[in-house]
């Protein structure tokens, strides 16, 4: 399984590095990527590590991917974070489903058959309980890494990963110092696993970037989350962008370049002020 995934990912990485140099104006090879396997209770999770240029240790950021999975556009995010001086760990949260080719963001959610496969083969196993169990292993990996600065780490997530990022802040409050969620959905629902219920446990500084056009994060949910975080005394900010759900990544049909750059501005300020203080 690992060998099959590795063969496919090598092709994606080459594409991602080339695209990164064009899109972001930096030489991606200055921030080399290392593929590692992180042991979890359910197996081995392929993960991608990016180190900044120069000598560490550096503050660490754990990235929770979106629901489209590992692909060049997702890997580019790790490169860009490393270019700003962060040690980045980007795990493949779909590892329980086995190797897979990059998904097509332009048809994945509109094509009923592709959506069915996504839900049944991938989302069914990437549950909050499973990912939070994995997160303990991810944090252990970072804690044992000599290139990582001791202390709390940052987490950021997108779409599905936005929910996981906020959930992780409440599940591992003593290990996560700062949390960001971009176009995350279902952040404050009636479900017993809703992340807003963890607000009393959260010690991290929190930033939530929602989309105006997002059925998974409507205004009443935003208000509910705001109330929960405020009542718990969590330092936080919730904003809605004039964009559609999924705007950050360049390979999606809803990509918004202006909003994506606003995402980078808010994320880097959040990380710098918290992890470099």
Cα–Cα distance, 170 to 253 (Å, whole number)? 32
CATH architecture of 2-275: 3-Layer(aba) Sandwich (3.40)
Cα–Cα distance, 250 to 257 (Å, whole number)? 8
**0.85 surpassed by pTM:** yes
Domain boundaries, the chain: 2-275
| Residue 5: closest CA among 129, 113, 111, 91 | 91
Residues 256-267: tens digit of each pLDDT? 999 999 999 999
Residues 42-82: tens digit of each pLDDT? 999 999 999 999 998 999 999 999 999 999 999 999 999 99
């Amino acid at each position: 399984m690992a060998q099959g995934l590795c063969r496919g990912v090598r092709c994606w990485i080459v594409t991602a590095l080339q695209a990164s140099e064009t899109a972001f104006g930096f030489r991606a090879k200055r921030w080399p990527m290392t593929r590692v396997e992180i042991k979890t209770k359910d197996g081995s999770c392929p993960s991608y590590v990016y180190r900044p240029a120069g000598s560490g240790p550096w503050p660490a950021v754990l990235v929770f991917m979106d629901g489209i999975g590992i692909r060049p556009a997702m890997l580019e995010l790790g490169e860009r974070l490393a270019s700003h001086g962060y040690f980045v760990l980007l795990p493949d949260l779909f590892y329980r489903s086995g190797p897979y080719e990059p998904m097509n963001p332009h048809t994945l959610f509109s094509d009923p058959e592709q959506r069915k496969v996504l839900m049944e083969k991938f989302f069914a196993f990437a549950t909050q309980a499973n990912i939070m169990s994995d997160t303990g292993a991810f944090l252990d990996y970072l804690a044992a890494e000599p290139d990582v600065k001791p202390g709390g780490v940052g987490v950021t997530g997108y779409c599905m990963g936005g929910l996981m990022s906020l959930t992780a802040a409440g599940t591992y409050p003593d290990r996560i110092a700062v949390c960001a969620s971009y176009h995350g959905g279902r952040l404050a629902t009636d479900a017993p696993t809703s992340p807003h219920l963890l607000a009393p446990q959260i010690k991290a500084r929190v930033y939530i970037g929602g989309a105006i056009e997002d059925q998974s994060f409507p205004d009443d949910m935003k208000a509910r989350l705001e109330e929960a975080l405020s009542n718990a005394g969590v330092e936080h900010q919730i904003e809605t962008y004039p964009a559609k759900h999924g705007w950050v990544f360049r390979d999606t049909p809803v990509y918004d370049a202006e909003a994506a750059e606003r995402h980078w501005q808010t994320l880097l300020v959040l990380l710098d002020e918290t992890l470099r203080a």
